[in-house]
Amino acid sequence: MNFWAQTIAVMIASITGGAVSHAAELIVLASQGNLPGVNEVAAAFARASGHKVTVLQEAGQALEQRLSHGPADLIAGNPEAMEALLKKGQVVAGTVTPYMLAGLGVSVRAGASKPDISTVEAYTKTLLAAKSIGYSRGCSGQHVEQGIAMLGLTEQLKPKIVLTGGGTGPVTFFLARGDFELGIQQSNIMVGAPGTDLSDPCPDT
């Protein structure tokens, strides 16, 4: 899978013990990167079916507790996370299905000049010129780090990197309040985020 076109394929699966087809109320667990898409699909399904759908963002110990004690019917997460849940027997074998591909994008604070990231060369120059760069400790951040390493910029950029995460909000939350100059995360999370402007998707290699 092309890195810049992006690596964060997100997947959905049934949780062991769930009875989705007969439920009058569905509980869907979603990682941060899945929330925009899952919320939209859940709302459309609720309108069409009359069932109630509750979408919860769970991570870490909270997710483990929910998977162990429920209730929950479906889970949407990144491929690596889903593979781990399959190995533990916490999702139903054969139900894990890719449903979207989320690309990385770059955002700036609202009103700031949007950088040129139209090519790999321009993106490299933008990263080097930035005073500070923020990305998450989660899946998207891991891929940002991989991309930086592919460009040979790990050591040069290390002093200006700010990591977000811990369930406190998306990268755009910290960008909007001025914690760093550039924010990088999945574009689907960054589009329309208050106090920020999405520049462009990261370029393909």
Q: What share of the chain has pLDDT > 90, as a percent?
A: 36
Question: Could you tell me how far CA 92 lies from the centroid of its own chain?
Answer: 23
Radius of gyration of the chain (CA): 18
Candidate from 83-92, 151-160, 164-173 with smallest mean pLDDT: 164-173
CATH of the domain at 154: 3.40.190.10
DSSP code, position 127 = H
* Whole-number Cα distances in Å, 52 to 20, 25, 28: 12, 5, 11
| Domain match, 89 and 51 both | yes
Last residue of a domain, one of 66, 101, 136: 101
Mean pLDDT, the chain, whole residue set: 84
What CA–CA distance (Å, rounded) separates 24 from 28? 13
How confident is the model over 89-96, as a mean pLDDT? Answer: 86
Candidate from 18-22, 46-50, 169-173 with smallest mean pLDDT: 18-22
Torsion of CA 127, 173, 192, 73, to 10 degrees: 110
Tell me the residue range of the domain where 63 lies: 8-101
Is 1 inside a domain boundary?
no
Report yes or no on whether pTM surpasses 0.75: no
pLDDT digits (tens, 9 = 90+) for 113-144: 999 999 999 999 999 999 999 999 887 888 89
Cis peptide before 159 (omega within 30 of 0): no
Other C-beta atoms closer than 10 Å to the C-beta of 97 total 10
Is 2 inside a domain boundary?
no
Residue 29 has pLDDT above 60, yes or no: yes
**pLDDT-based confidence at residue 23 (cuts at 50, 70, 90):** low
Q: 53: closest CA among 36, 67, 70, 39?
A: 39
How confident is the model over 27-42, as a mean pLDDT? Answer: 83
| Domain match, 79 and 132 both | no
pLDDT digits (tens, 9 = 90+) for 41-85: 889 988 998 889 998 887 777 777 888 777 788 888 888 788 888
Last residue of a domain, one of 65, 85, 101: 101
Higher pLDDT, 84 or 8: 84
| Domain match, 67 and 126 both | no
| Domain match, 97 and 107 both | no
Residue 9 has pLDDT above 70, yes or no: no
**pLDDT-based confidence at residue 178 (cuts at 50, 70, 90):** very high
- Segment (H or E) for 88: helix 79-88
Is 3 inside a domain boundary?
no
| Domain match, 142 and 181 both | yes
